Structure 1
Amino acid sequence: MPKAYSYLRFSTPEQMKGDSSRRQTSMALEYAAKHGLTLDEDLTYKDLGVSAFRGKNAEEGKLSEFLDAVRTGKVESGSFLLVESLDRISRQAAWLALGTLTSILAHGITLVTLADGKTYSQVTMTAQPWDLMYAVMGFIRANEESAYKSRRLKDAWFGKRQKATTKPLTSIAPAWLRLDKATGQWNVLPECAEVVRRIFRDYLAGHGAKGITVALNKERVPPFIRESSQRKRQAPRWHRTTIRRMLENPAVIGTHTPHVTEYVNGKKRRKAAQQPIPGYFPAIVDEDTFQRVQALRLNTPSPLRGRNSNREVKNLFGGLARCGQCGAAMVRMCKGPKYTYLVCQTARYGAGCKYTLVPYQQLESAFIQHVPRLVASAAYSGQGEHSFQLKPSSRSGRW
């Protein structure tokens, strides 16, 4: 009695909660019983929540495992592969999908589409050439459906991003926040928020990412638990990369940067979708603290800090220069060996200030030339310190 193998696939994890899996399994059992086939229940191939639009199931999913089993003889020639329809095999462009189909048939496997009871094999494709056209048309339809759904999904997300200031895009958020789905409001987890504030305080106090990491791990401060769409994830310990990402994450001051996924040469890439959205999250770190940290991080480290003590100072104004428009830190930006500027950090993150590039060399030369007079005329704080702020000229726009 010939053996039959079932292949189940659906695109999203949500479909696992529905009827898709039960329906496909039931159809395979009924077909095998009706046609005298032995359904192998040990080798059942299931791609649950795997899309066939870009061929992931055939390249690295369970369908790929079936093809390997066919090539190695684990699945014998003359066996049957039972699928609900051709779009379970592939939703790629028709010429690519046809390659997947022919690779199955070339090894003597008979493919059965259970929805219409149609069989595809070397014999039928030779005797009935129009079956090839039928398969191609089916693949074209499946590909167009997926492309249409993809466009609609992108449009829906674009609409959500347009309303992001009044309604959260998704429940996915930084680990110190949770979304109350009933009210649509973000709730701050106090114990997590305090750890974030401590990290910022320690960094400003001169502790590097490594030192902060070591201290947190020594004190056994629990790493954050982050909720994804599928499960909770918690790292076993603190890592330097976690600290660095937290220090540069504008979400701590409430700014959200939407991203989109695109495919380049078949590879998934994530890129910023539009301008950051200030005020999207509750702020847990004040703006001034965040900007001071960015001034330290994005400029050459201070010559008084650890292994960087002998490095050349490339930014004389690191942690000192402030934007005359909004008061945020001015950070160094290099656009080539001869083009170095200072730019407002708020503007750099698209948080509202005007984006203006200030030529660094001109500013440094002018500062060195006039620093004695500036220091002499600076306001005295009464605590043994002088402070000054560089502002643009209202007439020329120069600094």
Structure 2
Amino acid sequence: MIRAYSYIRFSTPEQFKGDSFRRQTAQAKEYADSKGLLLQDFFYKDLGVSGFKGANLKSGALGKFKEQVRKGVVPKDSWLLIEAWDRFSRMHPKDALREMLELLSLGITIVTLIDGAIYKEDELDTMNLLVCLMLMSRAHEESATKSKRVESAAKKRREKAREEGARFTKICPLWIELSEDEKNFSLIESKAKTVRDIFKWSIEGLGRIAISRRLVEQGIAPFSKTARTWHTSYVEKILKNPAAYGAIQFHTGSGTKRVPDGEPIENYFPAAIDKDTFLAAQYKSSERRISPNKTTYRGKAKLFSELLYCSCGDKMMYVNNGRGLVYYKCFNVKEKRGCTRRNFKQGNTDELLVSALFQFGSRLLAKDTQEAYDFSVELSSIKGQLEEVQNKISVAVEHLLTNPSPAISNRLRELESEESELKENIKAKEAMSALQAVHTNSAQELEDILDGLSATVTGDDEDKRIDLALGIKQLVSSVTFDDRCITIKLKQAVPKLFEDEQDRNSLVLQCTDTKGLQWEVENLGVELDAPVFTMKRKKKEV
């Protein structure tokens, strides 16, 4: 007997509760019995899947059916039973027809149960194709009309929310709950505290992996009842969600084409944090995307992660030889590109560097070097430029409408590109200003971090090591190694001890013996007697 397969689809989960599923199933059985077909017990089902954009044919059950026909799992003389063409697809008729013809070319016979029409490749004629196209076109137009109607209603609700503060949806983040009368939102304080901690840790420099690990270690339960642990993806979702500071961001489109619709509406939700904290976290996250956060690894935190360079210009790598020896190695040495820099033992090197910073901690953290930078002047200037460019765009659009020309069109594209760059620049400056406003590590806190460095460097307290690594990143922009000299470049100028002293923003550590046991810091007369650093020149690279 010839096999028959039933395909069932409906767009919304609510239809499953109604008669749609039972009706399509009964129709398939009745038809198969009347034609002597062997209806398979297995149904191809796309329940709650829209056919408007072809999801059922691309990644759904109907797409799987087509793939199994190609592989021979489904015999090529089988029949596919569908209620109507709108169950098969609601895509544009030309796309739906192409999918139908492909199935027919594979040997499949398609039956529409609503009218009993049978479609086979060798029996297709012009009339059949015209009827088929007409039905597919009607299915597409119905969905297109419904889509426009739904989008129009959603647009009106968004406008009402934007203009009148009306509630747009019952859906809210998991740290917020809707009141019983469904009129107001309120914070779930225990979860809101966790949100604040997540943003605080992000601003301090922890990445999403480190934050997830800390949440688990502290025994904080995930927000979702179905989640068994904290996932980095959800931490990132929290950090990117403007609802954290009480705003809602509307979107248009779906999937990869989903884009923001206007600016976020503030004061829509109760705020767990302020906007400055949110922007500061975005800025810190963007810094980590540019230079991935590798502060921690399995074991101990890397105190100088992403800061170490060889004087040849390449980075110093962290290398573990597997036999207990951990050291910094120039990448060019590893790749045999001409550099002959010796290796630096990680533990002793770290102790040397942090000891040098400790010697001048109070000077480096002097209040007169911590003055906040005023971004307001820069922001005003950039916003003025943006307004000027936007005025030029308006003029160019008017000229283009009355006198179309390639030159005006090209100029308009240039202005729009300039507008985009200025907007991005404004966002960056606002984020940097916000970061400065909410920065949690004051000079005194950093001085506390630098205090007791020896115990932190050599100890096993991971939280202290992470705090020290974050503190170092606030002070140091780079560390450059030469054979007998190490230069620590700072993010701020070294305070002068004497009026005639030159301005500088670096500390130079000079080796004063042959074994690398004694060092002193440039101009400040500090000598470190302890064997904080050892290194051995390699005779020959193998």
TM-score by length of 1: 0.68
Task: Please say if 1:111 is aligned against 2:110.
Answer: yes
Q: Which amino acid aligns with 1:7?
A: Y
Aligned to 1:148: 145
Aligned to 2:258: 270
1:4–1:319: structure 2 CA closer, same or farther, 3 Å change rule?
Answer: farther
> Are the counterparts in 1 of residues 247 and 266 from structure 2 also a CA contact under 8 Å?
yes
Secondary structure of the corresponding residue to residue 81 of structure 2: strand
Alpha-carbon distance in 1 for matches of 2:230, 2:144 = 42
Secondary structure of the corresponding residue to residue 193 of structure 1: helix
Within-5 A mapping of 1:242-391: 242-262=234-254, 268-287=256-275, 289-290=277-278, 293=281, 307=304, 320-321=373-374, 323=376, 343-344=429-430
Q: Which amino acid aligns with 2:39?
A: L
Shift in Å, 1:49: 1.7
1:189–1:97: structure 2 CA closer, same or farther, 3 Å change rule?
Answer: same
Q: Which amino acid aligns with 1:282?
A: P
Shift in Å, 1:195: 1.0
Task: Please say if 1:135 is aligned against 2:132.
Answer: yes
1:119–1:317: structure 2 CA closer, same or farther, 3 Å change rule?
Answer: farther
> Are the counterparts in 1 of residues 90 and 96 from structure 2 also a CA contact under 8 Å?
yes
Shift in Å, 1:344: 4.1
> Are the counterparts in 2 of residues 296 and 318 from structure 1 also a CA contact under 8 Å?
no
1:38–1:214: structure 2 CA closer, same or farther, 3 Å change rule?
Answer: closer
TM-score by length of 2: 0.52
Ranges in structure 1 where 5+ consecutive residues have no aligned partner: 226-231, 349-367, 369-399
Which string of whole-angstrom CA distances, capped at 9 and with x for unpartnered residues, describes residues 68-114 of structure 1?
Answer: 23233333344321110012112222222112222222233321111
1:67–1:209: structure 2 CA closer, same or farther, 3 Å change rule?
Answer: closer
Greater radius of gyration (CA): 2
Quote the sequence identity (%): 35
1:280–1:347: structure 2 CA closer, same or farther, 3 Å change rule?
Answer: farther
> Are the counterparts in 2 of residues 295 and 319 from structure 1 also a CA contact under 8 Å?
no
Q: Which amino acid aligns with 1:145?
A: E
Alpha-carbon distance in 1 for matches of 2:284, 2:107 = 65
> Are the counterparts in 2 of residues 171 and 178 from structure 1 also a CA contact under 8 Å?
no
Shift in Å, 1:33: 2.1
> Are the counterparts in 2 of residues 216 and 238 from structure 1 also a CA contact under 8 Å?
no
Alpha-carbon distance in 1 for matches of 2:432, 2:144 = 38
Aligned to 2:207: 209
> Are the counterparts in 2 of residues 209 and 244 from structure 1 also a CA contact under 8 Å?
no
Aligned to 2:230: 237
> Are the counterparts in 1 of residues 242 and 264 from structure 2 also a CA contact under 8 Å?
no
Shift in Å, 1:158: 0.6
Q: Which amino acid aligns with 1:258?
A: F
Secondary structure of the corresponding residue to residue 219 of structure 2: coil
Secondary structure of the corresponding residue to residue 130 of structure 2: helix
Q: Which amino acid aligns with 1:208?
A: L
Alpha-carbon distance in 2 for matches of 1:53, 1:216 = 42
Q: Which amino acid aligns with 2:132?
A: A
Q: Give the count of matched residue pairs.
A: 321
Shift in Å, 1:39: 1.2
Shift in Å, 1:318: 9.8
1:192–1:318: structure 2 CA closer, same or farther, 3 Å change rule?
Answer: farther
Shift in Å, 1:197: 2.0
> Are the counterparts in 1 of residues 70 and 106 from structure 2 also a CA contact under 8 Å?
yes
Q: CA RMSD in A?
A: 3.9
Q: Which amino acid aligns with 2:244?
A: V
> Are the counterparts in 1 of residues 247 and 264 from structure 2 also a CA contact under 8 Å?
yes
**Higher RCO structure (Cα 8 Å, ≥6 apart):** 2
Shift in Å, 1:245: 4.7
1:193–1:319: structure 2 CA closer, same or farther, 3 Å change rule?
Answer: farther
Which string of whole-angstrom CA distances, capped at 9 and with x for unpartnered residues, describes residues 182-219 of structure 1?
Answer: 42322322210111123344456x45236544332211
Aligned to 1:357: none
> Are the counterparts in 2 of residues 6 and 82 from structure 1 also a CA contact under 8 Å?
yes
Aligned to 1:383: none
Shift in Å, 1:151: 1.3
Secondary structure of the corresponding residue to residue 258 of structure 2: strand
Which string of whole-angstrom CA distances, capped at 9 and with x for unpartnered residues, describes residues 136-191 of structure 1?
Answer: 11111111112112211211111111122543322332221123464232232221
> Are the counterparts in 2 of residues 224 and 235 from structure 1 also a CA contact under 8 Å?
no
Secondary structure of the corresponding residue to residue 22 of structure 2: helix
Aligned to 2:16: 16
Secondary structure of the corresponding residue to residue 87 of structure 1: helix
Alpha-carbon distance in 2 for matches of 1:308, 1:142 = 59
Aligned to 1:189: 188
Alpha-carbon distance in 2 for matches of 1:310, 1:246 = 29
1:199–1:45: structure 2 CA closer, same or farther, 3 Å change rule?
Answer: closer
Structure (1/2) with the larger helix percentage: 2
1:322–1:310: structure 2 CA closer, same or farther, 3 Å change rule?
Answer: same
> Are the counterparts in 1 of residues 280 and 431 from structure 2 also a CA contact under 8 Å?
no
Alpha-carbon distance in 2 for matches of 1:9, 1:38 = 21
Q: Which amino acid aligns with 2:206?
A: G
Ranges in structure 2 where 5+ consecutive residues have no aligned partner: 296-302, 309-368, 384-417, 435-491, 493-542
Alpha-carbon distance in 2 for matches of 1:137, 1:62 = 25
1:114–1:212: structure 2 CA closer, same or farther, 3 Å change rule?
Answer: closer
